[in-house]
Amino acid sequence: MNEPRPVINFEDFSKIDIRMGTVISAEELEGSEKLIKMQVDFGEMGERQILAGIKAWYKPQELKGRQFPFVINIEPRKMMGLESQAMVLAVDSEDKVTLLLPEESVGNGAFVK
């Protein structure tokens, strides 16, 4: 089990911008054993490219059309020569990664609080 991270105050937590987005397209990233490249619609905020290390647990076709929460104000990161512009939220258990799903569909770009 992962050790707990240091305690942060509410002000630090409130800096994290988590928004709902719908996966428009998803594909395996050629040459990578872990990454799936997604194009995600955040409504009025536009679309973003996100790379996620979830290939061992998800197929691209399982992601298309589904909504997930994403941290959108994380610094962009280059992976395999491409820029990832957000980070999908997931639960990391001992042998599996599970993406978080809303109970019902919400607007793209909706703020998670």
CATH code of the domain covering residue 18: 2.40.50.140
- The answer to the question of residue 111 being in a domain is no
Amino acid at 97: V
Look at residue 1 and tell me whether its pLDDT is greater than 70.
no
Look at residue 76 and tell me whether its pLDDT is greater than 70.
yes
Please tell me the total count of domains within the chain. 1
List the domain range (segments joined by +) for residue 80: 10-103
Q: Which of 18, 21, 110 is nearest to 71 (CA)?
A: 18
Residue 1: its H or E element: none
Residue 76 neighbours by CB under 8 Å, 6+ apart: 83, 84, 85
Look at residue 61 and tell me whether its pLDDT is greater than 60.
yes
- The answer to the question of residue 91 being in a domain is yes
Can you tell me the mean pLDDT for 67-77? 98
Q: How far apart are CA 83 and CA 80, in angstroms?
A: 8
Residue 8: its H or E element: none
pTM over 0.85: yes
- The answer to the question of residue 68 being in a domain is yes
**56 secondary structure, DSSP code:** T
- The answer to the question of residue 4 being in a domain is no
- The answer to the question of residue 19 being in a domain is yes
Over the stretch 82-93, which tens digit does the pLDDT of each residue have?
Answer: 999 999 999 998
- The answer to the question of residue 56 being in a domain is yes
Over the stretch 15-58, which tens digit does the pLDDT of each residue have?
Answer: 999 999 999 999 999 999 999 999 999 999 999 999 999 999 99
- The answer to the question of residue 51 being in a domain is yes
DSSP 57-113: T--HHHHTT-EEEEE-SSPPEEETTEEE-SEE-EEE-SS-EEE---SS---TTPEE-
- The answer to the question of residue 73 being in a domain is yes
